[in-house]
Amino acid sequence: MDLLDSLILGIIQGFTEFLPVSSSGHLELGKAVLRDQSMPSESMLFTVVLHFATALSTLVVFRKDVVEILLDFFKFKWNSNTQFVVKIIISMVPAGLVGVFFESELEALFSNNILLVGAMLIVTGLLLMLADRAENTTKLVTQKSAFIIGISQALAMLPGISRSGATISTAVLLGVDKTKAARFSFLMVIPLIFGKIFKDVFSGELAYNSTQFSSLSIGFVAAFISGLMACNWMIRLVKNSQLKYFAIYCAVVGLLAITSTFF
């Protein structure tokens, strides 16, 4: 993978991880357009590095929240912060189970399956349109709603289903305050991303050689910086009910992706 491709894919990952347009789907489309010929193990390493970058950007944006939550949690204080941790853990259960029992089936879907990506992008668009029309409230995420949002996160493991789009839309449709829905959506994925990264690293399936250093570094920096921008931007967009524009975008890209499979 050359340096320009690494830069482009890093920017795609950074923006689409937080904007509700499916980072996994866009990475697959991007690789197809750029005709990425990386070996599967090398491509997996690049994807892991990009996800690590966006996870770090989330930690930077929510650093005050994360520090406060962790301090209260490790001090065993039963308050809103420790309750938030419990809700995060509950939300992780569906995706964790899917990842453990269906990992190989999921990985098989990430192999230039453009038709599936296109169809799932259209589904994402429909979810966003519904959420955009929902009225704002002051309701918090409950343990029950955390589990339901977690199911949406598990479904978003399919390429083309936006994780942020699915989880924020589900939360908003359940009546959760839009800003709180975005905050919960971005924080709930951090443990899963780091867990997946550690698993991939220690699995021994990732291939690395010194010639990849430049491309991995450029991809990491591009994903981190664009992730910082997109995370802050997305919070404002959800609050101001501007998801319909992304719904239209997902529908258009989804239709284009499906159409491209016939040529």
> Mean pLDDT over residues 89-100, rounded?
89
**pLDDT given for residue 123 in this prediction:** 93
Listed in order, strand segments (DSSP E) in 76-187 are none
**pLDDT given for residue 209 in this prediction:** 66
> Mean pLDDT over residues 47-55, rounded?
86
- Helix or strand holding residue 246 (H, E): helix 244-260
pLDDT band at 167 (very low <50, low <70, confident <90, very high): very high
Strand, helix or coil for residue 176: strand
The number of folded domains in the chain is 1
Strand, helix or coil for residue 65: helix
**Paired tokens of 75:** 């001090």
Cα 239-196-232 angle, rounded to 5 deg: 20
- Separation of alpha carbons 175 and 178, rounded Å: 8
Residue type present at position 91 = S
**pLDDT given for residue 39 in this prediction:** 39
* CB proximity list for 38: less than 8 A, separation 6 or greater: 1, 46
What pLDDT digit, counting tens, does each position of 191-233 carry?
Answer: 888 887 777 777 766 666 666 788 889 999 999 999 999 888 8
Q: Which domain holds residue 199?
A: 3-260
